[in-house]
Amino acid sequence: MSVDQSTETGSDSIPRIDFDHHSPEYRANWRTLSDDHLARCPVARSDAYGGFWVVSDHAAVSQVMRDDATFSSGRNTEDPSDPKQGIVIPPNPIRQIPLELDPPEYNPYRRVLSPYFSPTSARDSLPFAEQAADALLDRVCASGRIDLVLDYGNPLPALATMKLIGLPLDDWQTYAGPMHRVAASPPSDPDYQHNLQIMGQLGGAIAAEVPRLRTEPGDGLLSGLAKATIDGEPMPVEDVVTTALLVIQGGLHTTTALFAHTMLWLADHPEHREMLLADPSLWEHATEEFLRVFPPAMGFARTVTRDVVVGGQQMRAGDRVMMSFAAANRDPAVFPDPDEVRLDRSPNRHTSFGLGIHRCIGLNHARGWFPAMVRRVYERMPDITIDRDATKQNESVGVINGFVSMPATFTPSEPLGAAMPD
């Protein structure tokens, strides 16, 4: 894959691109490649991973995401020859519930989760996140050094998600460690496979909690799943586990990735940083703009269930389709001057949370946690300087466009004495 690739049109007149979202070229050039696809071949085929459509323009991405009957999220783990292989290319061996279910099977799972993700629940989670932020910053403030990803960006959303689920906070790293490594590596990496196995073992620990939670319910999400019924029967323990694991994963990498990209950008734009710190009301639109320009999840997949035309291209039942949120968010037909970061951009119909029935259930939480994370760092470490040379991006940005490490220095200060909330 190269930036100056030419789009070929095969004998079947289908536009073809040399595209692998897990490649180093995509990691380095995802904006240029996305713009190229948008301009020349917004709906095209890639031969990678057995072949799939790459859908780039906003109208086509919206069509695919909104039509869940024609574009299935479903995953058949029993039969690898079934084209329905979920929302990740190549498929993730662990089926993600409810993300990889279609209606009507999907509906009761989303219903069980919904109360834990209401605007009120998100508002209630904010004091915990703010106190955890101070406790984490207290650990490093006297040293003058912080790794914005390892010391803060990873643990904060992880702790807040563990709290939401009702799992022991001290275990955050046990879950987050392997999940971050899976999200950061290409599937061809042996580390990816190894950490998937560890995630399977973590599922065993969650399953062991379910019988107790069925007799002594608590108030966390895991307890809600344990006592939920599906078609009049208790939710299968396996589904409780995969749903809890998905919520942990959803809560972890995404907010962290958004935070880290934003910190890098604000380091280069001090006047915008000052504006945001001086006027908290600017964060509402600014958060959406940072989500547009730095999509944490670069794109997800669907499987075509019946022949359909998208962007002038004939797709067939069984075809796999990758929706590029990264490209759709840069579509000049919807976002004037897409390269420009406009903190007050409105309307801002970015696709970073998805659209349609699977639209991110955690968006209220992310919209609260993210600005609090950024603000607190600048309030306590106003002269923070990121060491760009030592900053390390994920090896693959194909699923999550995040960072493994982002060291920084600042003038040391006294701890505030903030205890980690429980």
List contacts with ligand HEM (CB under 6 A).
Answer: 73, 87, 98-99, 110, 161, 164, 246-247, 250-251, 254-255, 258, 296-297, 300, 352-354, 358, 360-362, 365-366
φ, ψ of residue 65 to 5 degrees: the values are -70, -35
Find the shortest distance in angstroms from Cβ 26 to ligand HEM.
18
| CB closer to ligand HEM, 101 vs 140 | 101
Query: How would you classify the pairing of strands 403-405 and 392-393?
Result: antiparallel
Q: How far apart are CA 165 and CA 179, in angstroms?
A: 16
| CB closer to ligand HEM, 104 vs 417 | 104
Find the shortest distance in angstroms from Cβ 231 to ligand HEM.
18
| CB closer to ligand HEM, 15 vs 155 | 155
| CB closer to ligand HEM, 361 vs 404 | 361
Find the shortest distance in angstroms from Cβ 144 to ligand HEM.
29
Instruction: Give the chain's largest Cα–Cα span.
Output: 68
Find the shortest distance in angstroms from Cβ 159 to ligand HEM.
12
Find the shortest distance in angstroms from Cβ 122 to ligand HEM.
9
| CB closer to ligand HEM, 137 vs 326 | 326
Q: How far apart are CA 197 and CA 195, in angstroms?
A: 5
| CB closer to ligand HEM, 141 vs 167 | 167
Nearest to 323 by CA among 2, 60, 17: 60
3-state helix, strand, coil in the chain (%, to 5): 50, 10, 40
**Residue number with the shortest CB distance to ligand HEM?**
362
CA-based radius of gyration for the chain:
21
Long-range contacts (CB closer than 8 Å, 24 or more residues apart) made by 391-396: 391/264, 393/27, 394/27, 394/183, 394/184, 394/185, 395/24, 395/27, 395/184, 395/185, 395/186, 395/189, 396/21, 396/22, 396/23, 396/27, 396/184, 396/185, 396/186, 396/189
What single DSSP character describes residue 195? H
Tally of CB atoms within 10 A around 231 = 8
Find the shortest distance in angstroms from Cβ 360 to ligand HEM.
3
Find the shortest distance in angstroms from Cβ 190 to ligand HEM.
27
| CB closer to ligand HEM, 140 vs 183 | 183
**Residue type for position 264:** L
